[in-house]
Structure 1
């Protein structure tokens, strides 16, 4: 993640790059020279370990501790924001320097990410947010997860599973804007206007921004999918070259800028987006392209405020860890950390898009937003420039495995208006005696979010490593189905 360079009392933010990187940066635990990842089960792993011990070249196969990353390790006296992009971190910082709080900064940062990191999140997706108020010592969460359309059912993808991954039939009802408005009206500072929060993202969308290396990589990887959709081509293909934009090229998102202006000017953007003319336009576009979402789906959408989220004591009676209940995966992350916290006999002496913000009052926000897979459904609203999610694939379907390798679970089968399970686990850890935040953490990266957060928290709080060292350290991931262990 990136944090703004300007230093502002008493807040320590140690930030590093995303703790769940692209899948290309992960390898199976057993590798073979320069060959691609191997699929490894337990018995195969044992045999290959034995072979390596007997091999004269075994030293070349050993995993080595990585060198320190070039990411920042800094202290900020008053406040800080960490996001997936430096520009968006600076926008969040600026909002807080103008008197805004962590929630104001989070919304502004996410709007920015939705413009310049469209492969990861945006108004076409949804999010989970954990908010901690240091004065009341209270955690609350917002579930703005997408929901299944009213017309959906558990066997809708049996004929063609690809429909859950790409195209208009893969779209679930988005909750992003509804969640922003709920967060702003319930937890915003009231010192920063709704319109002001939108201004930086509008400027970037109108005037353009340089394509990052990560976005350029995704565009190249998904070029064939982009060329299947006229509206995606219009935004992501350089007219001069006929190819997708490359790193450093300037990109604009003018139709999205118009939508952001309309939403920023509205006295009730939720009414406009979910019940007004925008909802009718979007529903018509989806219907005309074979999708399932209707005006009624938009009208009935509600983000959910959890006044009493999941909380548990961590390591000692002083620290409390809090986060959203299902369908987020915070409960799993919480369980892993809780188990590992008791394994203290041999402690070693070494070491989707996410926004974390801590403001000058000590309030913390940890929020994860997603459109599911890279570029979501690979479809864009022709009139409003929204990239739609493909979050219907986060549900289970009988006898089908989803894009993240999860086997079907009846508890996650599709039902109308149901929220799919998610790996997102935005977490805040605070000291219940002092009321101060100890750690705010989250990640992007699909199913690897859970293991990445758990291992980073364990290293930082159990092994007393710095956050930077905890993030830089190698990590393992095995979700059991498929039974393959990866190392990063």
Structure 2
């Protein structure tokens, strides 16, 4: 470019008043381009040198800052701290999705797994769709329990190549360590399984009747685990135990579920040898966040993981060594005879759905009749309750429930008073993979901490099943699978839901509500969990009380219920401590939802 084509302008310096301002206006030929150059001129050579150094330092500083930011981003991305995970203190992993219901037109989701490709990071739906985040949806598989540690252990099994049965069994073993008041090798379990490849359903009852003593029940959990794994698992047997062994050996921090159980049963715990595990040395039960370890249980679990061929024989002998000599032979015989029963599930065929259950006949009868009665009486149990009539709705529902329960126990020649005397607690595991394979397990020691009898050599707590005439009703156990029929009756398009409920008297009653909310009201799984749930509680002999949960204290519904009639009173929580979960496969995603939210821990990938 010719020097004649340039116009120079000298700008006023901000550093000195000694700079002059000049303007040179030269005409340029029409065929040459005019360029304006701005020159910042220093008055001295020394100032120019200083300015060059200043510019160099600025450039180096900016470069170093940008380099540091880039390195920080790379390190943070490698460690996963930019993910949506927000679960310090447990093994839970979350992934975000939008869209909650069956009829949702679009949803966005994000992946943070190291092996995800760019194609996986996509958005569904219209560009103007408002994104909602639901951290319980995943692409591959999900586990839900009432312990974040155990849900994480189950997920790790899935990620490492184990199938849905392996993940469920590893989680069950974990619960026996971290929630020993409701689960463990000394208890029992029931389950329902769906194999999506063979389209087959199986109901599993790992329970043993006929105790050798009047003070405890016969352990059946490990026998059932062994049978389920041999028939349906594909993971190495010993690796199923690794998570539970580590927690028992190294100890774990007590969560709110166990801490609350210890407080409620403090007197009985302190007066038994359970205090060896759960007391702080001053005859006070340990509190939330305390470390609990069970070295003898860790040794037993490790031994069983290495010697699976002689279960239940070895188990029976090891457990019996802490019993009175007169009880040992009968105990060993009972444990050795105990096997899980694996059969076809109970099937209830309805117009809108098919219910498959691994529960007792009275429980299934309760579910069926609650649904029918609520439908005939037009009770808005599963829709948005009319606040002006909610009081009579719940009262009518409780009246119907009493009649239904009374008739169901009459089928087993058991009185309603016997039923109300039950105080079962339990825990459950739900596993669902992206093929549609599902397993729901409900487990229990019957009442909290079972027989309150810790076997010191093995660290196992025995149950108190078979000590009450109503124990055989299995109201603590409600694992269900519901096939929701589509309008075109095409079986290939049936939606499969897995429902798990623990918590004694209310379990089948709440299960019926969950089915009604999904089938009759068309609610999505998250919406069904967020809506009010009616629990049953025993009052004076022959009376039945109700408790409505999942209602915010400051809401209009809460105030309306309190002000409506004398039947309603405020309470901090429903006493039956029920947990409900729903697992759902829809549109290529697996989801798990639970209530109450504080107890429901999902972990998936």
* TM-score, length basis structure 2: 0.58
How many residue pairs align between the two structures?
381
2:336 aligned with 1:313? no
Per-residue deviation, 1:477: 4.1
2:264 aligned with 1:221? yes
Deviations 1:196-250 (A, max 9, x none): 11101111111111111221122122222122223x12111123x4421110111
2:422 aligned with 1:380? no
Per-residue deviation, 1:74: 2.8
In 2: Cα distance, 1:138 partner to 1:8 partner: 32
In 1: Cα distance, 2:294 partner to 2:533 partner: 37
> Which residue is equivalent to 1:79?
141
Asked whether the 8 Å contact 1:362–1:437 carries over to 2, the reply is: no
Structure 1: segments with no counterpart, 5+ residues: 15-70, 152-167, 397-411, 413-419
Asked whether the 8 Å contact 1:172–1:389 carries over to 2, the reply is: yes
> Which residue is equivalent to 2:23?
none
2:534 aligned with 1:476? yes
Per-residue deviation, 1:442: 1.1
> Which residue is equivalent to 1:208?
251
Change (3 A) 1:328 1:388: farther
> Which residue is equivalent to 1:295?
332
Aligned partner of 1:235 among 268, 271, 277: 277
Shifted more, 449-458 versus 435-444: the winner is: 435-444
Change (3 A) 1:329 1:303: same
Per-residue deviation, 1:386: 0.5
Structure with higher RCO (Cα < 8 A, 6+ apart)? 1
Structure 2: segments with no counterpart, 5+ residues: 1-89, 103-132, 386-425, 486-490, 549-605
Change (3 A) 1:123 1:220: same
In 1: Cα distance, 2:308 partner to 2:318 partner: 20
Aligned partner of 2:384 among 326, 345, 350: 350
> Which residue is equivalent to 1:450?
508
> Which residue is equivalent to 1:90?
152
Per-residue deviation, 1:284: 4.2
In 2: Cα distance, 1:261 partner to 1:226 partner: 27
Asked whether the 8 Å contact 1:227–1:233 carries over to 2, the reply is: yes
Aligned partner of 1:6 among 91, 94, 97: 94
Change (3 A) 1:291 1:460: farther
Deviations 1:263-298 (A, max 9, x none): 111132xx34x323x312423433349799522112
Q: Secondary structure at the match of 2:186?
A: coil
Aligned partner of 1:336 among 370, 387, 394: 370
> Which residue is equivalent to 2:304?
263
Q: Secondary structure at the match of 2:354?
A: strand
Aligned partner of 2:483 among 415, 419, 430: 430
Aligned partner of 1:286 among 286, 302, 323: 323
Per-residue deviation, 1:114: 0.7
Aligned partner of 1:245 among 274, 283, 286: 286
Asked whether the 8 Å contact 1:314–1:338 carries over to 2, the reply is: no
* TM-score, length basis structure 1: 0.71
In 2: Cα distance, 1:295 partner to 1:175 partner: 12
Q: Secondary structure at the match of 2:183?
A: coil
In 1: Cα distance, 2:332 partner to 2:452 partner: 22
Q: Secondary structure at the match of 2:204?
A: strand
> Which residue is equivalent to 1:459?
517
Per-residue deviation, 1:346: 6.4
2:196 aligned with 1:172? no
In 1: Cα distance, 2:230 partner to 2:362 partner: 23
Q: Secondary structure at the match of 1:127?
A: strand
2:202 aligned with 1:140? yes
In 2: Cα distance, 1:391 partner to 1:171 partner: 7
Per-residue deviation, 1:441: 1.0
Q: Which runs of 4+ in 1 moved over 6 A?
A: 11-14, 289-292, 342-348
Per-residue deviation, 1:313: 2.8
Per-residue deviation, 1:392: 2.1
In 2: Cα distance, 1:442 partner to 1:304 partner: 19
Change (3 A) 1:263 1:248: same
Deviations 1:371-422 (A, max 9, x none): 01111111111100001101123434xxxxxxxxxxxxxxx8xxxxxxx221
In 1: Cα distance, 2:203 partner to 2:531 partner: 29
> Which residue is equivalent to 2:177?
115
Deviations 1:39-91 (A, max 9, x none): xxxxxxxxxxxxxxxxxxxxxxxxxxxxxxxx976322221111011111111
Asked whether the 8 Å contact 2:346–2:356 carries over to 1, the reply is: yes
Asked whether the 8 Å contact 2:207–2:220 carries over to 1, the reply is: yes
> What root-mean-square deviation, in Å, do the aligned CA atoms of Structure 1 and Structure 2 show?
3.2
Change (3 A) 1:267 1:425: same
Change (3 A) 1:335 1:130: farther
In 2: Cα distance, 1:375 partner to 1:74 partner: 31
In 1: Cα distance, 2:301 partner to 2:181 partner: 18
The structure with the largest strand share of the pair is 2
Change (3 A) 1:349 1:389: closer
Deviations 1:3-45 (A, max 9, x none): 9433499x9899xxxxxxxxxxxxxxxxxxxxxxxxxxxxxxx
In 1: Cα distance, 2:278 partner to 2:464 partner: 19
Per-residue deviation, 1:137: 1.7
| Higher Cα radius of gyration | 2
Change (3 A) 1:477 1:245: closer
